Amino acid sequence: MISRSIFAVVCLAMPMFAAPPLTTIQDVLFKADGTRFNGSLTISWTSFEAIDHSAIAQQSKTVTVVNGNLQVALVPSTTATPAAYYNVVYNSDGRVQFQETWAVPSSVQSLRIRDVRITSGTAGADTIATTVQESDIIGLISDLGARPLKGPGYATGRVAFVNYAGAIETITGTPTDCVRVDGSSGPCGGTQPMEALCQPRLPDHASRGGRMTSDRPGPPQSVPTLTEVIDWPVAQRSSHAAVPEATPPKIAAASEGLDEDEIVRRILRSLHEQLDGVLEYRIREALTPILSRAADALVRDARHELSRSLGDLVTRAVAEELRRQRPG
């Protein structure tokens, strides 16, 4: 009698611990170009109660598809309470390719995807929340390792440079500082002495009509004309005031007693003075940036050598002091 009671209790308890029934979906997946699909399917669902009163918790699972072969077993959702559906996301080539919804009925035989699909897919669903591992994307890890990283001194809104470790950092300083090629910054006055050497010379008396003037003429505004070269006497200018502009200066020169050779000499002398000013101006204009860069290089090299020399002096001084402090 006791054995019969125990047997009845076991029979009643077995359904409580039995797994819910499953339906197998098995199919071969192809791409549009005829090649077999390789990737994964992410299947997610909300909580529901199966036909055998099993409580199915909300979860998701990932099924790997190799060479197009898909096989997965799921709890039937058409007989669930409340009615449940499976959201299926197709992943391939490191991104979401497709999504669709499945309604899985109870079946003892394997079903194909067309038997459970209830909605058409959405291609290129970039807004789908899915998890893709970095290792699933070919070449992603190596590409991420090759990109520059933020260094400890990185900040926004300033000039960036690459430090010795290949990381990006930010140059510090004031808005009026100059940035050097080694990433350091400082006042821009290092090149002033060299620039001052290249400025035009000023005379000592320096003031003519309240303005500073150079003892060398600047670039000429125009080439002097023949009438500007020849110093016409006042009487001659007044007497020739009515002469048309087309009258050759040679006639007036002849009346003054100047021959053609004298005119040529005056023109060449005036042009020579003008060319001296132009040549000096152009040379200074070309040499100023060159000398400035040379000065920057000299300052940078001198700073490097001074730092190294000071380091050597400190090292030797410390070593000498340690030898003195040693007993014996």
Using an 8 Å Cβ cutoff, are 99 and 119 in contact?
A: no
Name the residue among 131, 89, 84, 134 with its Cα closest to residue 104: 84
Using an 8 Å Cβ cutoff, are 64 and 91 in contact?
A: no
Using an 8 Å Cβ cutoff, are 52 and 17 in contact?
A: no
pLDDT of residue 163: 82
pLDDT of residue 248: 46
State the amino acid at position 122 in one-letter form. Answer: T
Section 33-46 average pLDDT:
93
Section 162-183 average pLDDT:
82
Mean pLDDT of the chain: 75
With a pLDDT cut of 90, the percent of the chain lying above it is 22
pLDDT of residue 280: 80
pLDDT of residue 241: 47
Res 194 pLDDT > 60: no
Res 111 pLDDT > 90: yes
Query: Structural domain boundaries of the chain?
Result: 15-135, 148-185, 194-323
Distance CA(184)–CA(303), nearest Å, equals 12
pLDDT of residue 227: 54
Question: Could you tell me the pTM of the whole model?
Answer: 0.35
CA distances from 209 to 24, 205, 221, 253 (A): 105, 12, 21, 35
101 falls in which pLDDT band (50, 70, 90)?
very high
Name the range with the highest mean pLDDT among 58-62, 208-212, 214-218, 266-270: 58-62
Q: Which H or E run includes 289?
A: helix 260-325
Instruction: List, for residues 146-160, the tens digit of each pLDDT value.
Output: 888 888 888 887 788
Distance CA(205)–CA(210), nearest Å, equals 11
Which CATH class name applies to 15-135? mainly beta
Res 240 pLDDT > 70: no
pLDDT of residue 131: 63
pLDDT of residue 128: 46
Section 303-320 average pLDDT:
87
pLDDT: which is higher, 196 or 4: 4
2 falls in which pLDDT band (50, 70, 90)?
low
Distance CA(62)–CA(41), nearest Å, equals 6
